[in-house]
Structure 1
Amino acid sequence: MAEKRRVAIVGPAFPYKGGGAHHTTELAHRLAAAGHDVRIESWRAQYPGFLYPGRQTIDEPEGEPFPGTARDLDWRRPDGWWRAGRALRSADLVVLAVLSPVQVPAYLGILAGLRRGTPAVALCHNVLPHERKPYDRPLMKALLKRVDGVLVHSDEQAALARGLTGRPVTVAEMPAHFPTPAGGDGGGAVPVHEHLLFFGMIRPYKGLDVLLRALAASSAKATLTVAGEFWGGLDETRALVASLGLSDRVELRPGYVPAADVPGLFAAADALVLPYRTATASQNVWMAAEYGVPVIATRVGGFPDQVRDGVDGLLCDPDDAASLAAALDRFYAPGEPERLRAAVERVDHGPLWDAYTAALLGAARG
């Protein structure tokens, strides 16, 4: 029988929203289901508002909250960081979910409160942000030098981490953690809608501007829905849509998309488009698979491993509107949307989660 351990995960959980909170919660559920004694140390106030322009919390949980969740951490109370670390001294493993270098001061305070010999792993969703500030690298270097191990989600991220620390770095593919509401299609015969979807938080590295230029250049006359929170640039996006003559083809739906609205967005789409300039791992490919929707993505991060080019989706070059326009033309060739959709398969994430948790539990051992 596998060794049962006391695991503390420090990271966002409900009422915080988004991928980080979902991942923390699902990880806790998976570890607990494997027989480990798990707790989540979450936040009552995670970031100053000016550092996170979107909506930070939601009123109703999406998915099942983890019962062993405390919400005592507060960015305004550094004295509480050390106390939180001291309270975690009984853990066999402390997992620090790293979403942004802004978390590092609090995590350093927690590490200072841990007694020597309590293993800690930095679980890095991104080792460094896609859009970097001068302080990002020194902060992450300070953190990664003080933990016992690092877990990342791609070889590219592993290389970044190894450039910042001599601690062991482990790579594990990120399994699906977003809750999928009822209504997923899962493939089959579906009419071609001549409609595309761009979904999720909207930041410059995700390449929405590239998609808009590609849509204007493509011979396909598909429409597009853009659904998600804008981290700036909404007025500029509206102006770009107008300047490209796409006002009657592009619907902008700015703001957080509740889980209950997701099935309808995917049901109306022939494909999900991910025109990212850079990427690590994305849950959106797995989400599209749950709804039987092909993906058109760039060759960055984990997309080439998640999307089978010409089989269940298409790949194109990043930051290249002409390459993406050609992919849109290929996608809308006669019979192609139906053929690609028919090949989309739901993924059994149970084995992926088993491998992921095993990698995490072993990450501090090298």
Structure 2
Amino acid sequence: MRIAVIGPAFPYKGGGAHHTTELAHRLAAAGHDVTLESWKAQYPSFLYPGEQTIATPEGEPFPGTRHALAWYRPDGWLRTGRRLRAQDLVILVVLSPVQVPAYLGMLFGLGGRNGRGPRVVALCHNVLPHERKPYDVPLMRRLLKGADGALVHSAQQAQLARDLAPGTTVRTAVLPAHLPTPGPGAGARPGAPEGPWNRLLFFGIVRPYKGLDVLLRALARVDDVALTVAGEFWGGTDETRALISSLGLEERVELRPGYVPAAEVPGLFARADALVLPYRTATASQNVFMAYEHGVPVIATRAGTLADHVREGVDGVLCEPGDVDSLTDALRRFYAPGEPARLRAGVRPVDSEPHWSAYLEQLLTTGPLVTSGTDGEERTA
């Protein structure tokens, strides 16, 4: 099958770029003729305040990736769509509704849903953002109605897509692990003492829906536990620093603002008893898989699909989203005598192969399939 994947790739950073690139590699490994179309300018800087790109690739770039798309060149959107008309399948990787105008331009260039052009699937990491703008709903509704189908990562997201665009074919698949993994021994602590290190880790971009403020308030109620916060701060660090000061946590909270290169990730996890995911809302999080790859338990809320991947009392502890009391209780349960070591012993790296196999199967069968009848005429199944 001739497949075009359209989405971010190196030099863009983060989970979306890693996933798009890994998806292209896996489709090619399955025998498909794959083209990866990426961006030279994905978002205007005022909509994405952090650094969008990195200088060194994290993982293997997909050979022959094109970087022709720009948010400010609608003519390029149309040309890309026209150039891809000969494909059998076009996959639009949706990370934000900000991408949708470009994707609608490509759909127009592809010729629309006429039954003879390529099948188009919207691969939605989030159907709608956790923190929404007035234009998000109309843009996503237009895209979902214009595509032949959508692939999402949770039942809740599937229902949201169907509500926006009734009649759209929507399939659900677990988002498989796709972030760079550590090398051998990356999680080891040479010479480290037995027992807990009394340090937790909050990792990844800091946005309000991720609940760092809830974690800080819970931490203030638990003695002798420190926290490292490593990642880009969406709106700067001033508000977080003020909260830390008001809670008297200056000596216990280490802020490491900025993107964390893959080479530095093992060192962060090597200093942590657990990764904490205090999310108010969630779709899926690669950070659970990343923690387990490093041998680290997870303390998470039951938001989204997080609870599907954390086994309460086996390799982590669960609590309710947005609830300081519940998270405080989870921290205390985690640090009960002997618990950090017992939960660490229960951690196992996730086998991503079954997830990827199911993911590709769902992706390749999303939307109407064009087949040939006995008379040679194309028909839509």
TM-score, L = length of structure 1? 0.96
Could you say what secondary structure the match of 2:121 adopts? strand
The alignment status of 1:333 with 2:336, answered yes or no, reads yes
Could you say what secondary structure the match of 1:55 adopts? coil
The question of whether the paired residues in 1 share the 8 Å contact of 2:27 and 2:360 is answered with yes
Residue 202 of structure 2 corresponds to 198
1:189-338 to structure 2, matched below 5 A, reads 191-218=195-222, 220-338=223-341
The alignment status of 1:114 with 2:110, answered yes or no, reads yes
The question of whether the paired residues in 2 share the 8 Å contact of 1:217 and 1:322 is answered with no
Could you say what secondary structure the match of 2:244 adopts? helix
Q: Could you tell me how far apart the structure 2 residues matched to 1:186 and 1:78 are?
A: 50
How many percent of aligned residue pairs carry the same amino acid?
A: 70
Could you say what secondary structure the match of 1:50 adopts? coil
1:17-166 to structure 2, matched below 5 A, reads 17-115=13-111, 116=114, 117=116, 118-165=118-165, 166=167
Could you say what secondary structure the match of 1:145 adopts? helix
Q: Could you tell me how far apart the structure 2 residues matched to 1:261 and 1:185 are?
A: 12
The question of whether the paired residues in 1 share the 8 Å contact of 2:119 and 2:367 is answered with yes
Residue 182 of structure 2 corresponds to 181
Higher-Rg member (1/2): 2
Shift of 1:365: 3.0
The question of whether the paired residues in 2 share the 8 Å contact of 1:186 and 1:345 is answered with no
Residue 170 of structure 2 corresponds to 169
By relative contact order (CA 8 Å, sep 6+), the higher-ranking structure is 1
The question of whether the paired residues in 2 share the 8 Å contact of 1:186 and 1:290 is answered with no
Give unpaired runs (5+ residues) of structure 2.
370-381
Shift of 1:184: 3.5
What letter is aligned with 1:123? L
Q: Could you tell me how far apart the structure 1 residues matched to 2:203 and 2:352 are?
A: 22
Could you say what secondary structure the match of 2:19 adopts? helix
The question of whether the paired residues in 2 share the 8 Å contact of 1:184 and 1:292 is answered with no
Could you say what secondary structure the match of 1:178 adopts? coil
Shift of 1:351: 1.3
Q: Could you tell me how far apart the structure 2 residues matched to 1:55 and 1:247 are?
A: 27
Q: Could you tell me how far apart the structure 1 residues matched to 2:217 and 2:138 are?
A: 36
TM-score, L = length of structure 2? 0.93
The question of whether the paired residues in 2 share the 8 Å contact of 1:151 and 1:172 is answered with yes
Q: Could you tell me how far apart the structure 2 residues matched to 1:269 and 1:41 are?
A: 38
Could you say what secondary structure the match of 2:171 adopts? strand
RMSD, aligned α-carbons: 1.4
Q: Could you tell me how far apart the structure 2 residues matched to 1:198 and 1:172 are?
A: 26
1:348-359 to structure 2, matched below 5 A, reads 348-359=351-362
Q: Could you tell me how far apart the structure 1 residues matched to 2:267 and 2:151 are?
A: 35
Shift of 1:269: 0.2
Could you say what secondary structure the match of 2:60 adopts? coil
Which of 11, 15, 20 aligns to 1:15? It is: 11
Question: 1:158-187: CA deviations, max 9, x gaps?
Answer: 010000112100000000010113144389
What letter is aligned with 2:362? A
Shift of 1:363: 0.8
Shift of 1:277: 0.2
Could you say what secondary structure the match of 1:67 adopts? coil
Q: Could you tell me how far apart the structure 1 residues matched to 2:182 and 2:329 are?
A: 33
Could you say what secondary structure the match of 1:157 adopts? helix
Could you say what secondary structure the match of 2:143 adopts? helix
Q: Could you tell me how far apart the structure 2 residues matched to 1:105 and 1:49 are?
A: 17
What letter is aligned with 1:159? Q
How many residue pairs align between the two structures?
361
Distance 1:186 1:311, change over 3 A: farther
What letter is aligned with 1:55? E
Shift of 1:353: 0.5
Q: Could you tell me how far apart the structure 2 residues matched to 1:339 and 1:233 are?
A: 37
Could you say what secondary structure the match of 2:296 adopts? coil
The question of whether the paired residues in 2 share the 8 Å contact of 1:196 and 1:270 is answered with yes
Distance 1:204 1:355, change over 3 A: same
What letter is aligned with 1:287? M
Q: Could you tell me how far apart the structure 2 residues matched to 1:356 and 1:69 are?
A: 22
Question: 1:56-109: CA deviations, max 9, x gaps?
Answer: 000000000000310000111101101000011111100000000000100000
Shift of 1:54: 1.0
Q: Could you tell me how far apart the structure 2 residues matched to 1:354 and 1:37 are?
A: 18
Question: 1:93-137: CA deviations, max 9, x gaps?
Answer: 000000000001000000000133321000000000000011100
The ranges of structure 1 where at least 4 consecutive aligned residues each deviate by more than 2 angstroms after the TM superposition are 183-187
Shift of 1:217: 1.3
